[in-house]
Amino acid sequence: MTRLATVICFVLTAASARAQISPQSMTLAGVRDCITEAIGTGSVEPDGTALIFSCSAAKAKALYGFLGRTVRAQVVQDRNGKFENRPFGNSACYHRIADENGKAADDFRCDLIIVIGDALNQ
């Protein structure tokens, strides 16, 4: 739980550093909302020296949209369907536009990967 508190403090400090409404502050607010949802729904997975915060639906759709100002979508087809991915850093947001059968879909998900290092991994 200490790890989560440290990460939350970092994100909230970064998000509140610029109170002006700008594309950057909107994107940071989307990241904050995604992390908050992930914590609230128990969608935080440890992965070695990183934590993966996953959000979906409205929060992921909003962050995906904010990223659209600077991150171009990459179309990817895999066994789960067809996706428009917006990768940024180690993280990414996904818009599923077709399911595994080729039927139209409209699902959103973001996986935010935050490296915590060995110090917080105890």
Q: Residue 111: phi, psi to the nearest 5?
A: -120, 110
0.85 exceeded by pTM:
no
15 has pLDDT over 70: no
> How do the domains of the chain map onto residue ranges?
2-115
Q: What is the pLDDT of residues 35-83, one digit of tens each?
A: 999 999 999 999 989 999 999 999 999 999 999 989 999 999 999 999 9
Torsion sign, CA atoms 10, 12, 15, 16: negative
Q: What is the pLDDT of residues 72-83, one digit of tens each?
A: 999 999 999 999
What contacts 30, CB < 8 A, 6 or more positions away? 59, 62, 63, 66, 67
Q: What is the mean predicted confidence (pLDDT) over 79-98?
A: 97
Average pLDDT of every residue of the chain: 87
